[in-house]
Amino acid sequence: MKGYRLNPNRDFVNRIIEGVQRRNGHCPCRKDESDATLCPCDEFLNTGVCRCGLFIKEEDVNKFMPKEKDETK
């Protein structure tokens, strides 16, 4: 979807994708399983809201960047 991208936090994305795989392609943060909850779910496609945080607005990328480890300590 234009204006959105995957969350840049790889650890977080990997956990969400594992959840999607466990649920046979359905959103892991939804209780029901229907065509509407296949990832990317209808809610995200229609409103731009990704409850899982897998997809984020491009303008918000910096808010989700993982903190770099300080190698000097």
Residue 49 in any domain: the answer is yes
Residue 73 lies in a domain: no
| Average pLDDT value for residue range 2-29 | 95
Domain of 31 in residue numbering reads as 4-57
The answer to whether residue 69 sits within a structural domain is no
Question: What pLDDT is recorded for position 1?
Answer: 78
Q: What's residue 64's pLDDT?
A: 75
Give kind and range of the element (H or E) at residue 46: helix 42-47
Tokens at 45, concatenated: 């496609």
43 lies in some domain: yes
Mean pLDDT, range 52-66, rounded to an integer: 85
pTM: 0.78
Supply the CATH number for residue 24's domain: 3.90.460.10
What is the number of domains present in the chain? 1
Instruction: Report which of residues 61 and 68 the model is more confident about.
Output: 61
Across residues 34-60, what is the average pLDDT?
Answer: 94
Evaluate whether residue 72 is within a structural domain: no
Q: Are 52 and 29 contacting, i.e. CB atoms less than 8 angstroms apart?
A: yes
Number of residues in the chain = 73
Does 38 fall in a domain? yes
Residue 64 within any structural domain of the chain: no
**For residue 73, pLDDT beyond 70:** no
Phi, psi of 55 (to 5 degrees): -110, 135
